[in-house]
Amino acid sequence: MCTAATYYSKDHYFGRNLDLEFSYNETVTIMPRGYKFPIRHADDLANWMLCECYIVAKSYRKL
């Protein structure tokens, strides 16, 4: 079962998990605040700091 949690503060923290019995070869990744993350059909993301576990797709370069 997937779980999500939100901590309401001046910085607003949000977290969730993807609870599966198998791996997609995900890796822990940190995207510093101010890093310009290109998004294909939206404005680039640059104002968020992310610490996450994600899957590196071929169309995106590693940070």
**What is the helix (H) or strand (E) element at residue 20, kind and residue range?**
none
Question: What is the reported pLDDT for 30?
Answer: 80
Residues 44 and 23: their CA atoms lie apart, in Å, by 28
Residues 17 and 23: their CA atoms lie apart, in Å, by 13
Domain ranges for the chain, please list them. Answer: 24-63
pLDDT tens for the 63 residues of the chain, in order: 678 888 888 877 788 777 778 877 777 778 788 888 777 788 877 777 777 777 767 666 554
Question: What is the reported pLDDT for 54?
Answer: 73
Question: What is the reported pLDDT for 59?
Answer: 62
* Catalytic residue ranges: 2
Are 16 and 5 in contact by the 8 Å Cβ rule? The answer is yes
